[in-house]
Amino acid sequence: MTNKIKTDLLVIGAGSGGLSVAAGAAQMGADVTLLEGGKMGGDCLNYGCVPSKALIASGKAAHAQANASPYGVADVVPQVDYAKAKDHVRDVIAQIEPHDSQDRFEGLGVRVIRDYGQFISDTEVQAGDHVIRARRIIIATGSSPLVPPIPGLKTVPYDTNETLFDLRDKPDHLLVIGGGPVGMEMAQAHRRLDCKVTVIEGMKALGKDDPETAKVVLDALRGEGIDIVENASASEIRGSHGAIEVETKDGRVFKGSHLLMAVGRKPNIDRLNLKAAGIETTRSGIKVDAALKTTNRRVYAIGDVAGGLQFTHVAGYHAGIIIRSALFGLPAKASTAHIPWATYTAPELAQVGLTEAQARDAHGDTLEVVRFPFAQNDRAIAERHTAGLIKVMVVRGRPVGVSIAGAQAGELINLWALVLANGLKMKHVANMVAPYPTIGEINKRAAGAYFSPRLFDNPKVKTIVGLVQRWLP
């Protein structure tokens, strides 16, 4: 028997973006229905941001034990229990799960249906024996690991981020195909947990980031013993559990015990029957306009499935756009110019706005690039985290992009995200007073580096100061 439901807002997908929309809309008085056929919390909670950062923390603890002598503490060989590290990962997920749970959202007044949905018309979605008609529909189904059709891969055991955190036996030698953020984060975590690691990247590792700051990170990872092989496309994969070989197009063969595929993501759209709703797609996901509307004016797409930047915080940002548009009927457009991202290796890598190359293409000779090294920050020196730098791309006093490599880069970038989001200038950062000694002083010192030549190397300034000094009583 079909159960028919009418609702103001239908949200398909209970990942970070979908949950944010559902919670906000329900608390503002809308009738909200939420569909989720998999796990509440989506990729971020169960397979992505949360478990990866938890495993990185385990690796950090092991690394600290083995590298304590510079601080006057004896180095020890860490006794790594890989299964217990995974227990730590599971415990972290369990602590966060209640916030994303079905019980919590039903407590907020959201109608939660645990099933996958597919369109049967431009305003209706079927989920099991439910047919839901909605005034507005938000597709927030996220993305899944992309597994390329490499010859032999189908017959070889491999992991993706969706299975890696269930692995209980420590890999002897982990082969990682893909040198992006996921591949590099998991490479370092496993190296620090006493695994041999080889990363095989078809182009440049961390290739979407600024090359100068990416080099800081790659040098550090190589220094920890990670073999990073670039410009090496996999042509064939063979072997069995514990004995896997990856052959590249140039004939090289890399051998390991386990294989992690980390080459990218694909949008989760196969189940949706989008044609029935008149919704067009692109190679990267669902086609949307600046307001995140699809080619069906009643339907929005947000987060990874919308084909743009694939970050949890972007999905949350998109949720705010939807609340403004779908609930209040107000104009709202999404932008990427102020969206930051970070890679949580050690040292960290962070970016907001344009890289140096992008800024030069966009602004030409009007661009100024300001640099300040971590090695000149007293807190970084005290904690022996001096590798790295900040680069600020400035046009007529206004930052248009910031690249950071170094300790706490993911925290430092927050200030610059605020600056870019609000159109602030370098003078506003220079006016800030930062507590001493903090890593955060690096941001202010970067602003200082922008103004220093204007003040200290300017003959006019020296002339004015000289005149003033003559006339002062």
Q: Which residues are annotated as a binding site for NAD(+)?
A: 178-185, 201, 264
DSSP per residue, 139-155? E---EEE-----TTGGG
**b/e for 183-219, b at 16 or more Cβ within 10 A?**
bbbbbbbbbbbbbbbbbbbbeebbeebbebbbebbbe
Binding residues: 53, 117, 141-143, 178-185, 201, 264, 304
Phi-psi region of 171 (alpha: psi -120 to 50; beta: other; left: phi over 0): beta
Q: How far apart are CA 162 and CA 123, in angstroms?
A: 32
Q: HSE on the CB side for 174, CA within 13 Å?
A: 29
Q: Are 186 and 271 in contact (CB under 8 A)?
A: no
Q: How far apart are CA 32 and CA 5, in angstroms?
A: 11
Using DSSP bridges, classify how beta strands 124-127 and 398-406 pair: parallel, antiparallel or unpaired. Answer: unpaired
DSSP per residue, 85-138? HHHHHHHHHHHHGGGG-HHHHHHTT-EEE-S--EESSSSEEEETTEEEEEEEEE
Binding residues for FAD: 53, 117, 141-143, 304
Nearest to 50 by CA among 114, 95, 101: 95
Nearest to 303 by CA among 82, 7, 5, 43: 43
**Helix pair 312-322, 16-27: axis angle to 10 deg:** 30
